[in-house]
Structures are given as structure tokens and as C-alpha cells.
Structure 1
């Protein structure tokens, strides 16, 4: 069954990072572009763009409109996200970050596959809603641009050392397992004075009081949170405990599913966390194989038929003439990573060398030599030398710790980047009712 355009837009959000935020459908034919609602550096956001973006959110929550905040608050939140997205796209353009048509085609194919459609069916679904597929492509392109800006910002700013991993795993506060969290974030503006900090604290207290009064947490996130995921109910998904900032880990570790934390002060503001569910880590025991191979590649001097024939000749020399596999591999194999060690591939998990090799491994017995078989790389002769069960719990734990530290650093680095980006940008919200209290106070001061 086909999904709505809102579901498709949500699918795009799933395959792109958290900061690649809001897509909107095209304006209906003949709709006029009314007033400007905001100036963002050298660009503008129109009332029609805001209305269309709000309509997408309303469509996503069709049947659950009670979770949405009042219209003026929803418009402020959506406008804030449009502004942040516009700033990121402008910054990416300044840095020469661009997206090719092939990149967009690949992303569209991914969205279509997630929704069990062909790209042509996806196009039909977009157009069925009255939207322009060209606009859909452009908005998806913008999302990819934001993703690449995120990568460029964090790739040089984030590194993880072995000592950091050791410190995390040996910390008395380290907790294994995973938790499913949702959050509400009440940010403190950069350079905020005591009054602004108190205003954020008051808003956090109001959100907490609303939840205690019976408001659904997702609805409270939509109403009060200013995090990029607020319109998704603040859902953070499943995270390892070591991915959670240390300032919050103790609170989460002492909570039970369904519980909500008090307002916790963090580096960028106040956070209210809800523990949706939790699960424990299990030991990771995997099957590993030891094998060696000879690879014959076609080249300008060797035709595919000649490569196949050479592989067959080598197979006969190994199996029928009992010549040494390792010697023949050193003399003939074109695999740069294994030829010098007699074709030895070491110990590895079954899929490590690709599906074709994995299939052959599953069909061989220990010490058995395969008939020549073809992959994208060329013609292979494979000998399975052994198999074993390996407990990779410690290795995987270290790999996950490295990833968790990197993820945490990346999120903090990009959050800081976005705060600086916004604080240094020229932003003028032209419609008074769309300004939040801080904007209104700034406008009054400027006057």
C-alpha cells in the first residue's frame, strides 16, 4: 500500500543525519508568494514556504493533532528549523559543497526502496499529492548538502585515542547495555545573561510540570523542545550507555522504563530525558575462517578467457599434481594483500571478503580447495584451512566504545558549530508574532 508524502519525507529523515531536517512539498500551482517572514543573511524565507512546511508537520500528525502545540508556537518552531537549514545550505555553498544529479538519483532510489517502491512509483506518489518532483529532488539535494557539511565539520575536529577508550571502559561510572531515549532540550543562547538563563530554566520547569500533569512526552517535546528532533517527539532512538554524555549517564542509569528525569543542566541548556526502554549487551561469539587464495585478474595483456584458463591450470597443478599452494600463490596471484604471504588471508568473518567468497567458504570443508570461481575482482582459487568460534566481546566492546566517543564528540562539535553559525548570522524575523521571547527582547533593545 502506498504511503503518504508525509511518510516519504519521514523516510528521508531516517536515511539522513539528525541535522538534515525539514522537507516541504511544492506550492500548489497558482499560489502567490506572499510576504517575507524572515531574512537569513543574503536569503529570505517566504510565508508560503513556512505555510507549506507547517502543513507537512500537520500531515505527519494527522489523527494526533492534540500533540501539536498552538499554531503560533508550531510556526515558530518550524521557522526556526527552516532558518537553521537555510544557514547550513548557505555555508555549504560558501565552502563549495555541491551534490551531483547521480547523488540525488541514488538517494531517491534509497527512499523508494525503504518504502517498497520503484523510483517511478515514488515520483507518481509525490506528484499525486500535487507536489513538483523537481522541487522534491531539490529539497532532497539540500538534505544531502547538509549531510556533507556535517561530515566536513566533524571529520577533522573529532579523533578518539586508545587511552580515551581505556578510560571509558575502566571508569567506575561506565555502564554497558543500550537505552531507548527521548528528550526535551531547552537551549541557553550563546552569551546569555542571568535573565536569559532563568528564562530557559522556567521553560524547562513548565515542560516538566506539563508532563507531570499528564501531557504525553512526545507532545511536550513538540511544544517545548528546541532540539532539531522536536517535531519527531524528541525520539533519540536506541543508544549505547557509553554514547550518553557523562553528565546524564548517572541519571539514565538509575531510571526505569517510562520514567522521566528532572530538568538536567548541560553545556548548552536544560534537558529532560525519558527512558522508553533498555536492554543488556550480550556476548558476541562469531564463526571465523582461515583461508588462502590465488587471484587471477584479466588485464590489457590477459583476456577474461585467458584468466579463466590460467586459474583452471593452477587448480589442476594444486589438486592433481600436488604442487604447493603457497608457492603458486606467490608466483601467480594478483592480490596485492595476500600474494607475498602465499595467499594467506588470515582469520576473518565469513562476509569479510564479500558475498562470492563467503558462499564458497560455506561450501568447502577444512583443507578443501575450491574449483576456480569468478567474482568482480577476477578468478579465484580458494582453500579453506580451518574454522573456529571466536569470542569478540572485548574487541567489539572497544570498537563500540570508540564509536560512542566519536559520536558524542561529533554531536557536540556540530551543535557548537550550529550555535556559532546562528549567532554570527544576520537573522531578521519580520513578523512579530513569529518571534520568540528572546527575539522580541532583542528587537525591543535594537529599537
Structure 2
């Protein structure tokens, strides 16, 4: 099935659906304010544009069109939270330069396998102007930087946390299968009484029965879920078991792709999970390493480039005539990190070296001394002493564990922070039929 470009554009950003690019350009006839959000407003035209986009997303998934007005409150809440983050970005002085924006647009076009002109044409076919796309990307970049400053930068993971995680049952599962999930969250208020909990349980039970009868999961998430990813059909993306609450790990291990879990009771309400895909497993991670030594000669104020090259050539000739490489390195090499060791760099990862050095090293046979060559550091003569493939599985596992723990903390902290800024903001909803709220 052919996918519109705008559907391929969204995952490259934060996952938020587009705001209307024409909101500030001109006041449309019969437009009105549907929410006052601190020092800004959400307009009816903006809400209508977003609702249309969500409805198009539902249609592309093959789901039925929700009843008129069914999405308004859900979409409006998303717009309010986005608006608050953009205001924080404005107050914090976050600015996206034209150069940064142009680079982001070029990257998106490249990832879609297009030139900039092809990208413009594809946007036009999808009914979106290039200017609107630039504004969309700019907003997403601002929100991303706001979240980086307010949430991501505060997250710290210690070495001990990594070790404890890898020693835990969930940590041991880290190298096992990875899951692509979707969810539907039916919330319960803090301190909810038994009546409220029973009402939520009844609602989630009804949703579960509809899903079992064939209702589209994505559509049901858009219409009913209270999670941040609701408007994306509940899509959570790929998750390791360790990134999920512990009780979910056992459940997922027994589910097949396409299965839908029974409603699960969690502190914030009730959750239904769909297992979309599985992938991965435990594999050894091998890294190529080279044992190499070199002599570095640097040009200076008292030694010209030509004289430096000439000295390197003389040292190369002396090695070829039988003189000891290590002895010459100790006497002449100007690399302070290796000269005293006879020029020995020990075992190195080729990817950590500058391209010219890496290329010469790759082309040299073991035991071969290269002719002098130039890098940004000066003139080199090198010898490859050995090659090996090192098992770096443990280092890879530690890095994966660090990423998982940071992602878990980020997800938790982000939800808490989003609720906090929403609760602390002055919000007055003027959408007909919606509950009025002011703070």
C-alpha cells in the first residue's frame, strides 16, 4: 500500500501530529477560541485541522470514521500540552536557526530518499505546503529541546545501577527478544474510591470485548485511551522487557504476535497491551582490533613540512635497512602517548582513528612497515603487529543496559513533568460540551 509522505515524516520527529500552519497567518471566518492556555490560545481552526489529520490516520489504518465530535476533547488536550511546551521554549529563549532548520529538512528529505525539490513536490501531492512543513519541524525541534533541558538532562544512571540491572532477572532478559507494543490506558483518579474504580473497570472491559470482536486497536486507542501516545493509535514503539513494568515481562513471553492482553490493573488505571511484533535475541558482539605501532614526526616553526617529510622518509629507510622500529620510535617519535613504548599503540579499534591512519592500517599486511603518510597530526610510519576480533558483548550489554535505564527514567519523568505543567497552568476550555477547567 502506498504511504503518504506525511505519514513517513511523523516518526522522524517526536510523534506529535501536526498543528495547523495557518493559525497565525490569518483569522478565518467564524474562527473562535476553544481554549485559553496561560498566555496563549488554541483556536477552533487549529483543533479542526488536527482532528482532520487524526481522522485521516484512522482511515489509512482501515478503521471506521469516529462519530462527529468524538475526538475533539482528546485532540484538544494534546494541543494544550503542546502549547504549554512551546511557551516554555519561548520563555527559555530556545531558538531554531534557519541553518538548523534547513539541515533538519534536508535530513528528512534524505531519509525519504529524495532531493529537496522532490521533497517539496511530494509534500504538495500530500496537500501540505513546504512552509507548513518547515513550521511543523521547527515546533517539534523546540519541544524536543524543551524536553531535553527539563527532563533528559536531569536523568542520571550510576555504574552500580547498571550492574544491579544486569544481575537482575529483567537485566538477564535484556539480550532476549524485543517487542513492538501498542496500549490503551483507561485512567483512575488519584485516591479513586471503589465506585470510580469499578466504573473504569467496566469501561475497559467493554473496550476489551470490542477488541476481541475485531475492533481496530489503533482506532479504539485514539477514541478512548488516555496515554500520551493515544493519537498515534497507542503505538509505543519497540521495547525491551526490561523497559516495561516487571509484571509485563512474564505476560509478553507467553503472548504471540497480534495477541491482545486482558485488562491489567496498574497504579494509574487499567491497561490493555497489543503485541505487534517480536525481534532480536542474544548475539555475540565482535569488534575488530589491530595491534599497531607508529612513529610520528610533526612540522613546527623550526622544521618545515618538506623537512618533516624528509625525516620520516629517512626513518622509513633505516627501518627497511634493519634498524629496530621501537628504538627509533623512542628516539624520534613526537607522539607523547606512545613514544616511550616504542611507538606501540596497543590494540586499537580502527573506528577510533582518523581516516588516513585507518586506511593505511587496513591496507598494510601484518609485519609490514608503511611508507610515510600525512594526517592532520603530522607524518607517520606505522607497522601492523597483529589483528583480532574481540568479544565486546559485555561492553555492548552494559551500554544497552544504560540506554534502557535512561529510557525508562525518561519515560517516567516525562509523564510526570507533562502532568505537572498541565496541572500548574491556567487552562480555560471553551469547547462546547467540554468540561470547563481553570487553574
TM-score scaled to structure 2, two decimals? 0.84
User: Per-residue deviation at 1:139?
Assistant: 2.2
Q: How many pairs are equivalent?
A: 433
Helix, strand or coil for the counterpart of 2:71?
Answer: helix
Q: Which stretch of structure 1 is more off in the superposition, 93-102 or 322-331?
A: 322-331
Asked if structure 1 preserves the Cα contact closer than 8 Å seen for 2:13 and 2:137, the reply is no
Matches within 5 A, 1:309-328: 311-312=312-313, 314-320=315-321, 322-325=323-326, 328=329
Unaligned runs of 5+ in 1: none
Give the direction of change, closer, same or farther, for the CA distance of 1:257–1:135 in structure 2 (3 Å limit): closer
User: Per-residue deviation at 1:424?
Assistant: 1.0
Matches within 5 A, 1:293-312: 293-294=294-295, 311-312=312-313
Q: Does 1:143 align with 2:140?
A: yes
Asked if structure 1 preserves the Cα contact closer than 8 Å seen for 2:151 and 2:417, the reply is no
Distance 2:299 2:19 in 1: 49
Residue-by-residue CA offset, 1:320-341 (whole Å, 9 max, x unaligned): 563535753785445x765665
Task: Give the match for residue 390 of structure 1.
Answer: 390
Residue-by-residue CA offset, 1:335-387 (whole Å, 9 max, x unaligned): x7656655444334332325544433332222323334455666544432211
Asked if structure 1 preserves the Cα contact closer than 8 Å seen for 2:329 and 2:339, the reply is no
Structure of higher CA gyration radius = 2
User: Per-residue deviation at 1:43?
Assistant: 0.8
Task: Give the match for residue 422 of structure 1.
Answer: 422
User: Per-residue deviation at 1:88?
Assistant: 1.1
Q: Which stretch of structure 1 is more off in the superposition, 91-100 or 182-191?
A: 182-191
Give the direction of change, closer, same or farther, for the CA distance of 1:345–1:66 in structure 2 (3 Å limit): same
Give the direction of change, closer, same or farther, for the CA distance of 1:402–1:64 in structure 2 (3 Å limit): closer
Asked if structure 2 preserves the Cα contact closer than 8 Å seen for 1:22 and 1:81, the reply is no
Distance 1:163 1:43 in 2: 45
Give the direction of change, closer, same or farther, for the CA distance of 1:277–1:37 in structure 2 (3 Å limit): same
User: Per-residue deviation at 1:190?
Assistant: 6.7
User: Per-residue deviation at 1:36?
Assistant: 1.2
User: Per-residue deviation at 1:288?
Assistant: 2.2
Asked if structure 2 preserves the Cα contact closer than 8 Å seen for 1:285 and 1:390, the reply is yes
Q: Which stretch of structure 1 is more off in the superposition, 406-415 or 52-61?
A: 52-61
User: Per-residue deviation at 1:132?
Assistant: 4.1
Task: Give the match for residue 236 of structure 2.
Answer: 236
User: Per-residue deviation at 1:109?
Assistant: 1.2
Asked if structure 2 preserves the Cα contact closer than 8 Å seen for 1:27 and 1:131, the reply is no
Matches within 5 A, 1:190-339: 191=190, 193-194=192-193, 197-279=197-279, 280-294=281-295, 311-312=312-313, 314-320=315-321, 322-325=323-326, 328=329, 331-333=332-334
Distance 2:302 2:201 in 1: 73
Matches within 5 A, 1:335-346: 342-346=342-346
- RMSD, matched Cα: 3.5
Task: Give the match for residue 28 of structure 2.
Answer: 32
Helix, strand or coil for the counterpart of 1:370?
Answer: coil
User: Per-residue deviation at 1:270?
Assistant: 3.0
Task: Give the match for residue 404 of structure 2.
Answer: 404
User: Per-residue deviation at 1:427?
Assistant: 1.6
User: Per-residue deviation at 1:390?
Assistant: 2.1
Task: Give the match for residue 88 of structure 1.
Answer: 85
Task: Give the match for residue 52 of structure 1.
Answer: 49
Helix, strand or coil for the counterpart of 2:154?
Answer: coil
Q: Does 1:23 align with 2:22?
A: no
Residue-by-residue CA offset, 1:28-55 (whole Å, 9 max, x unaligned): 9977161111111111111222222233
TM-score scaled to structure 1, two decimals? 0.83
Helix, strand or coil for the counterpart of 2:388?
Answer: strand
Q: Which stretch of structure 1 is more off in the superposition, 44-53 or 325-334?
A: 325-334
